[in-house]
A and B are shown apart, each in its own frame.
Chain A
Amino acid sequence: MTSLSVTALSMTSDLATAAILASQFLLLLGMGMAIVRMVRGPRAQDRVLALDALSIDGMLLLLTIGIRTGSILYVEAGLIIAVLGFAATAAFAKFLLRGEVIE
């Protein structure tokens, strides 16, 4: 009875770990596609858009790593990446519009 419930517990947690691993793979795939768009992207705005998507994907990948390792510190790193991604995209957009960031 006890061994059965322990087996069931480890099975569900293995299944959940497999789901987290699969979602990490999907996020890496998304980052790869964003990098392909950044390298290929016909114009500068496509590359900036790909950088924005890349920062969001990387932030979510950090959160899934935090779930797998059980450490809350990855959430802080994700917060920093989210804020810096916005600053980078806004600065790049201003640069594309005017040719300089601070006038």
Chain B
Amino acid sequence: MNVLATVPGWVALTIGALVLAGALLVCIGSVGLLRLDSFYRRVHAPTLGTTLGMYLVLVGTIVFFWAGEGRPALHVILIGVCVTVTTPISLMLLARAALERDRREGAAGIPAANPPETGADGGE
């Protein structure tokens, strides 16, 4: 039995369009993750899926459970809040770790450490 037949037709079409658009964005982000040529470029690509792609899928899920069960599944929003808050933190940690590793190895094309870093908190 088709679950999507339990909601009105235009609602089902809206859900399908939202989820398909979100999945397409996630897929494009993964293509970027696969094809871009340095780590600092690759770190940008999956965020296409963690922002708009994820929001579209979450809105589709909320609309589906709202139309199907009559009450909005608001803990879906919790996923959105969690991922929106945590993704910049984890990716910034990861980019800083990569930068530190590249500096330690003396890789080419890596900017030097910030000059005010030693003067500002040194207090001498």
Contacts and interface: CB of A to CB of B under 8 A. Distances in A.
Interface of A: 8-10, 12-20, 22-24, 26-27, 29-31, 33-34, 36-37, 43, 45-46, 48-50, 52-53, 56-57, 59-60, 63-64, 66-70, 72, 75-76, 78-79, 82-83, 86, 89-90, 92-94, 96-97
Contacts of B50: 56
Contact of B3 (A23, A70, A78): A70
B27 interface: yes
B4 A52 contact: no
A48 B98 CA distance: 11
A16 to B, nearest CB: 4
A18 to B, nearest CB: 8
B30 A15 contact: no
A70 B97 contact: no
Given A46-B39, A57-B30, 9 more contacts: A18-B16, A26-B27, A31-B30, A33-B30, A52-B87, A60-B23, A70-B6, A90-B93, A93-B94
Interface in B82-97: 82-83, 86-87, 89-91, 93-94, 96-97
Contacts of B87: 52, 56, 86
B97 A20 contact: no
B23 A24 contact: yes
B2 A17 contact: yes
B94 A33 contact: no
Contact of B90 (A14, A15, A89): A89
Interface of B: 2-7, 9-10, 12-13, 15-17, 19-20, 22-24, 26-27, 29-31, 33-34, 39, 42-43, 46, 49-50, 53-54, 57-58, 60-61, 64-65, 68-69, 73, 75-76, 78-79, 82-83, 86-87, 89-91, 93-94, 96-98, 100-101
Contact of A79 (B30, B31, B82): B82
Contacts of A22: 20, 23
* The 7 residue pairs across chains A and B that have the minimum distance between CB atoms: A19-B16, A23-B23, A30-B30, A12-B9, A16-B16, A86-B86, A16-B12
